[in-house]
Structure 1
Amino acid sequence: MAEAWYMDSVEGDQRRPHRLTPDQPAAPQELGVFYWKLNADIYETDPELERIRKDQGYSYMDIISIHKDTLPNYEEKLKMFFEEHLHLDDEIRYILDGQGYFDVRSKDERWIRIAVTKGDLITLPAGIYHRFTLDETNYVKAMRLFAGEPVWKAYNRPADDFDVRQKYLASLQEPGERTVSCLR
């Protein structure tokens, strides 16, 4: 798994690591986050990437470069990516160059920061609250993968009433635990 840690709550530049002192490592795989380390230098012909795409049903892909010189409305897009949100489908990103951070909410609502660098392929499950930011290098080139047609819609928090959010929360329950829901 990529390096991950619980974040501090210090205000300031979102691109900084925001580690607690002492450091508190985290395990985002317990939240349904999947991770592979691949050779990004051969992404166009990589049989391992092709196997993962086939096994996971990732039929669509495109590439995005996030840098002030390559992304139209750069500042606006960075702010949008950093808004806490969820998606109705998994978010799958393969870092081809550069580096950044995916932040995900833990079971107890704390932020976990996941550092992603060249060669990291990460899948955030549908319904997980998350956000993305660059690190201080201000650059990432990523492959965006989807199972089927791409859906670009993000739903900012609060989105707790969405079925996908309820299914995600249910997937985190320990055997024998019960999910409490409100009926209106």
Structure 2
Amino acid sequence: MVEAWYMDESAGDPRLPHRGEPCRRVGLEQLRRLGVLYWKLDADKYEKDPELEKIRKERNYSWMDIITICKDKLPNYEEKIKMFYEEHLHLDEEIRYILDGSGYFDVRDAEDRWIRISMAKGDMITLPAGIYHRFTLDQQNYVKAMRLFVGEPVWTAHNRPADHFDARRQYVEFLAQSA
């Protein structure tokens, strides 16, 4: 089961858990109200997993690739890690399925507070278009993830502030309706 919590305000190493004191956990229902969807799958059989295929078909995830994020495998590693951790949004959903390793997705709640979502092998997450978020590795400094898209991939991240995009306005409207 996915683990999520409100982050503390410290500016230390982003790869640390940054749990507030006391730790305020966030459940799946609260994540759903933010538009964040989660599945637990068997990453060892991702190549022939009928559950993954069912999700892909239902949600029209037609394109996929696999990225390995570690110093030895990702060109311009340091630059990319910094870029992933910049607060941004996308105009389309962001779908990630962790095949090995671990890391954190941070998302903003309706009050603009950071929620940290711990992702490990078998965790699959969908972040809605227009949600402010960021990603970082944890102290293992390694993750292998499947990236999925509806149609052709669009890699453009729009750093905050990006409130002028329709995707952001639509997301804010979604939050107001979910409240």
Which of these residues, 138, 157, 163, is aligned with residue 154 of structure 1?
A: 157
Q: What is the rounded CA distance, in whole Å, between the counterparts of 2:108 and 2:146 in structure 1?
A: 23
Q: Report SS of the residue matched to 2:177.
A: coil
Amino acid corresponding to residue 172 of structure 1 in structure 2 = L
Counterpart position of 1:73: 76
CA displacement, residues 77-108 of structure 1 (integer Å, 9 cap, x when unaligned) = 00000000000000000000000000000110
Secondary structure, counterpart of 1:43 in structure 2: helix
Q: How far has the Cα of 1:29 moved from its partner?
A: 1.8
Normalised to the residue count of structure 1, the TM-score between the two structures is 0.94
1:70 and 1:144 mapped to 2: Cα distance?
A: 16
Matching residue of 2:115: 112
Q: Is 1:163 aligned to residue 175 of structure 2?
A: no
Which consecutive segments of 4 or more residues in structure 1 shift more than 4 A?
Answer: none
Task: Return the match for 1:63 from 66, 70, 75.
Answer: 66
1:163 and 1:66 mapped to 2: Cα distance?
31
Matched residue, 1:23: 23
Q: Which runs of 5+ in 1 are unaligned?
A: 178-184
Aligned 8 A contact 1:28 1:112 in 2: no
2:54 pairs with one of 40, 51, 55: 51
- Kindly state the Cα deviation for residue 28 of structure 1 after the two structures are TM-superposed: 1.8
Where does residue 82 of structure 1 map in the other structure? Answer: 85
SS in 1 for 2:169: helix
Residues paired across the two proteins, number: 176
* Aligned-pair CA distance for 1:58: 0.1
Q: Does 1:143 align with 2:150?
A: no
Normalising by structure 2, we get a TM-score of 0.96
1:8 matched to 2:8? The reply is yes
Match of 1:39 among 28, 39, 42: 42
Report if aligned partners of 1:15, 1:135 keep a CA contact under 8 Å in 2.
yes
Secondary structure in 1 aligned to 2:176?
A: coil
Give unmatched runs, 5+ long, in structure 2. Answer: none
What is the percentage of aligned positions where both structures have the same residue?
68
* Larger of the two Rg values belongs to structure: 1
Deviation at 1:174? Answer: 3.4
**Deviation for aligned residue 1:30:** 1.7
Question: Which secondary structure does the structure 2 equivalent of 1:78 belong to?
Answer: helix
RMSD of Structure 2 on Structure 1 (CA): 1.1
More helix by share: 2
**What per-residue deviation string (whole Å, max 9, x for no partner) do you get for residues 91-132 of structure 1?**
000000000000000110100000000000100000000000
